[in-house]
């Protein structure tokens, strides 16, 4: 997902610079479904069934999830004996609306928020006792417990307790870091020049050189570049930085237990020298910092450059495939482009910086009745179960899909399926961005491409480290990030002596606040037991 472009800025006292295969039945409980949760239909000893328990639920697009003709909603009512009261808002103002409801004493029973992503607000809610402690309920709700176990780092700033359920992106258990990016490459150019897909950073350089100098498009002109990227600081260069075990925003733990910034490390100097060499030899597109994402892809499609770094999830893979099909109607897109995956770096290892395997968190109002708390927990636990995930992803047999052998084949179009708004309830616990129905075009290629980077995704050891604004001025951190972006670009484009220029950069970085950043980072890391 593109919501993870991490930059050197501070947000709500979090310093992001310390901070983006299939989940068909993810986050499950070994086939137990909701069997281990408290009874869903407790009649209190009476022959008369208990009335459904109403829960208010809040997210920006839950409108219609309680529609009486929703097959999914009917199934949930039967399973859990609940009635849902959706509270909605627009995407632009959902956080503001949630804050107003909480401030006015009208907190929803179950709601989505940024959670730890906005730690000052989140910790204040915890301090005021507004959020249910989910950690203390985990033993009774096994699927919630299993999901929380993947995100223990998030509880370090709240005394080891979770007050929000992270909404996971991919493969609900056992995965704490994800990456959906890739280096795309012109396969037809490789074939014409008798080259193979590069697997190391040195081979990447050699292919870029051949793409620039050996007329891969066969037009008799030297008018192609080996590689390009797009604007957004130097962020899109991170796969190259990673190949030298470096980054602009992370810290590495040393043998003595201290954390040191990668941005001033020997690896960063080597990666800057590598890109400086590519730029000087015209292997790197001179507009690498000016291209929009759209222009970058267009240059790849039209044969101006041979390699780009880009998103390559199902949506982007399909989009690029369609664009190649349109541009080269007589050719199979698979014969024109492919992907590189994670390059082996200078140290022989493969690394791709990953983002947390969740976005947003779901909390339960601590002030509701015990009966409502139980039903809210049962709902989340069920949605995380194998049975619940299957229901949310595939729907109901005979309504949304049919079985052909062991495959679930959709009998509804995606547009028809979208009319059953209750499918959106899955986003209380999961996004399932890696879920691809069997009918998805190019499914095998998409999954293989995803594994080529996702399997090497490395979590940030200091992500969500909570350094207070009193200890570290966010404005200074932002200015330091701007300095990093400008200086690294200048060294790539202008430097005639990278070692000397990098030494000056390192000295100035420390003077401009880097020394304070390192000091406070290590102090807080020790306090949190990182």
pLDDT in tens, the chain (530 residues): 443 333 333 333 333 333 333 333 333 333 344 434 444 444 445 566 789 999 999 999 898 898 888 999 999 999 999 999 999 999 999 999 999 999 999 999 999 999 998 988 999 999 999 999 999 999 999 999 999 999 998 998 898 999 999 999 998 767 889 999 999 999 999 999 999 999 999 999 999 999 999 999 999 999 999 999 998 779 999 999 999 999 999 999 999 999 999 999 999 999 999 999 999 999 999 999 999 999 999 999 999 999 999 999 999 999 999 999 999 999 999 999 999 999 999 999 999 999 999 999 999 999 999 999 999 999 999 999 999 999 999 999 999 999 999 888 889 888 888 888 899 999 999 999 889 888 888 999 999 999 999 999 999 999 988 898 899 999 999 999 999 999 999 999 999 999 999 999 999 999 999 999 999 999 999 998 88
Domain residues for 161?
23-175+357-435
Using CA atoms, how far apart are residues 225 and 213, in angstroms rounded to an integer?
8
pLDDT of res. 171: 84
On the CB side of 256, how many CA atoms lie within 13 Å of its CA?
A: 3
324 and 363 co-located in one domain: no
192 and 267 co-located in one domain: yes
Beta strands in 296-336 (DSSP E): 307-311
Using CA atoms, how far apart are residues 363 and 128, in angstroms rounded to an integer?
14
Cβ atoms of 142 and 405 within 8 Å: the answer is no
pLDDT of res. 25: 33
117 and 207 co-located in one domain: no
Burial of 97 (0-12, 13-18, 19+ CB in 10 A): middle
334 and 392 co-located in one domain: no
248 and 309 co-located in one domain: yes
Write out the DSSP string of 439-468.
T-TTHHHHHHHHHHHHTTEE--TTTT-B--
Cβ atoms of 183 and 307 within 8 Å: the answer is yes
Kindly give the residue spans of alpha helices, DSSP state H, lying in 128-237: 142-149, 187-193, 201-213
Using CA atoms, how far apart are residues 508 and 518, in angstroms rounded to an integer?
14
Cβ atoms of 393 and 24 within 8 Å: the answer is yes
Cβ atoms of 481 and 250 within 8 Å: the answer is no
Residue finishing a domain among 370, 400, 435: 435
Cβ atoms of 185 and 337 within 8 Å: the answer is yes
Cβ atoms of 394 and 408 within 8 Å: the answer is yes
Q: Both tokens of residue 486?
A: 């400008």
pLDDT of res. 40: 43
* CATH classification at residue 344: 3.40.190.10
Q: Both tokens of residue 209?
A: 């050189």
pLDDT of res. 23: 33
Name which of 526, 522, 510 is nearest 476 in CA terms.
510
Query: For residue 222, how many other CB atoms are within 10 A of its CB?
Result: 10
What does DSSP assign to residue 48?
S
Residue finishing a domain among 405, 420, 435: 435
Q: Both tokens of residue 170?
A: 């991919």
What does DSSP assign to residue 256?
T
Using CA atoms, how far apart are residues 497 and 483, in angstroms rounded to an integer?
19
Burial of 2 (0-12, 13-18, 19+ CB in 10 A): exposed
Q: Both tokens of residue 9?
A: 């800025």
Cβ atoms of 247 and 233 within 8 Å: the answer is no
pLDDT of res. 46: 54
How are beta strands 110-113 and 53-58 bridged, if at all?
parallel
197 and 309 co-located in one domain: yes
Q: Is the dihedral of CA 161, 165, 166, 168 positive or negative?
A: positive
Name which of 93, 159, 76, 120 is nearest 380 in CA terms.
76
Query: What pTM did the predictor assign?
Result: 0.83
Q: Both tokens of residue 300?
A: 């790849």
Cβ atoms of 40 and 33 within 8 Å: the answer is no
Write out the DSSP string of 357-385.
SEEEEEEEBTTS-HHHHHHHHHHHHHHHS
381 and 306 co-located in one domain: no
pLDDT of res. 407: 87
Name which of 226, 367, 376 is nearest 303 in CA terms.
226
Q: How many domains does the chain have?
A: 2
Residue 327, Cα to own-chain centre: how many angstroms?
A: 31
Q: Both tokens of residue 30?
A: 């070994």
52 and 120 co-located in one domain: yes
29 and 154 co-located in one domain: yes
Write out the DSSP string of 257-296.
S-EEEGGGSHHHHHHHHHHHHHHHTT-B-TTTTT--HHHH
516 and 426 co-located in one domain: no
Kindly give the residue spans of alpha helices, DSSP state H, lying in 56-112: 71-80, 94-103
430 and 455 co-located in one domain: no
Q: Both tokens of residue 107?
A: 């907190």
What does DSSP assign to residue 150?
T
Q: Is the dihedral of CA 389, 391, 397, 398 positive or negative?
A: negative
16 and 76 co-located in one domain: no
SS3 at position 186: strand
Residue finishing a domain among 435, 460, 491: 435
């Amino acid at each position: 997902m593109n919501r993870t472009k991490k930059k050197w800025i501070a947000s709500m006292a979090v310093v992001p610079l310390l901070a983006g295969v299939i989940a068909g039945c993810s986050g499950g409980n070994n086939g137990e479904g909701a069997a281990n949760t408290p009874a869903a239909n407790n009649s209190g000893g009476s022959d008369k069934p208990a009335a459904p328990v109403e829960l208010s639920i809040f997210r920006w697009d839950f409108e219609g999830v309680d529609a009486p003709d929703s097959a999914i909603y009917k199934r949930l009512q039967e399973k859990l004996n609940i009635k849902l009261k959706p509270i909605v808002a627009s995407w632009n103002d959902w956080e503001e609306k949630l804050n107003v409801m909480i401030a006015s004493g009208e907190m929803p029973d179950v709601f989505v928020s940024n959670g730890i992503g906005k730690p000052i607000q989140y910790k204040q809610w915890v301090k005021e006792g507004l959020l249910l402690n989910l950690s203390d309920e985990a033993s009774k709700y096994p699927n919630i417990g299993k999901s929380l176990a993947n995100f223990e780092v998030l509880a370090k700033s709240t005394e080891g307790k979770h007050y929000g359920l992270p909404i996971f992106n991919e493969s609900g258990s056992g995965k704490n870091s994800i990456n959906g990016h890739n280096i795309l490459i012109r396969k037809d150019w490789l074939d014409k020049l008798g080259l193979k897909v590069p697997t190391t950073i040195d081979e990447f350089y050699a292919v870029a050189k051949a793409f620039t100098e050996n007329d891969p498009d066969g037009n008799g002109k030297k008018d192609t570049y080996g590689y390009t990227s797009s604007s957004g600081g130097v962020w899109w260069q991170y796969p190259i930085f990673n190949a030298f075990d470096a980054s602009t925003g992370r810290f590495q733990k040393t043998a003595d237990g201290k954390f040191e910034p990668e941005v001033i490390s020997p690896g960063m100097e080597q990666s800057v020298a590598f890109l400086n060499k590519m730029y000087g030899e015209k292997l790197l597109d001179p507009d690498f910092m000016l291209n929009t994402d759209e222009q970058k892809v267009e240059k790849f499609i039209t044969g101006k450059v041979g390699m780009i770094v880009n998103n390559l999830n199902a949506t982007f893979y399909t989009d690029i495939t369609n664009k190649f099909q349109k541009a080269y109607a007589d050719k199979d897109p698979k014969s024109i482009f492919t992907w590189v995956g994670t390059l082996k770096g200078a140290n022989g290892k493969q690394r791709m910086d990953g983002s947390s395997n969740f976005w947003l968190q779901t909390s339960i109002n601590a002030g509701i009745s015990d009966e409502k708390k139980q039903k809210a927990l049962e709902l989340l636990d069920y949605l995380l179960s194998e049975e619940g995930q299957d229901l949310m992803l595939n729907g109901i047999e005979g309504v949304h899909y049919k079985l052909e052998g062991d495959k679930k084949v959709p009998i509804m179009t995606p547009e028809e399926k979208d009319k059953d708004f209750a499918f959106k309830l899955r986003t209380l616990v999961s996004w399932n961005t890696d879920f691809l129905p069997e009918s998805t075009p190019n499914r095998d290629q998409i999954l293989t491409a995803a594994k080529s980077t996702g399997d090497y995704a490395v979590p940030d050891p200091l992500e969500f480290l909570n350094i207070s604004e009193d200890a570290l001025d966010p404005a200074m951190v932002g200015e330091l990030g701007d300095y990093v972006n400008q200086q690294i670009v200048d060294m790539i484009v202008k430097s005639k002596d990278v070692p000397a220029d990098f030494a000056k950069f390192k000295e100035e970085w420390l003077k401009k606040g880097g020394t304070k950043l390192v000091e406070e980072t290590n102090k807080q890391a020790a306090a949190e037991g990182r």
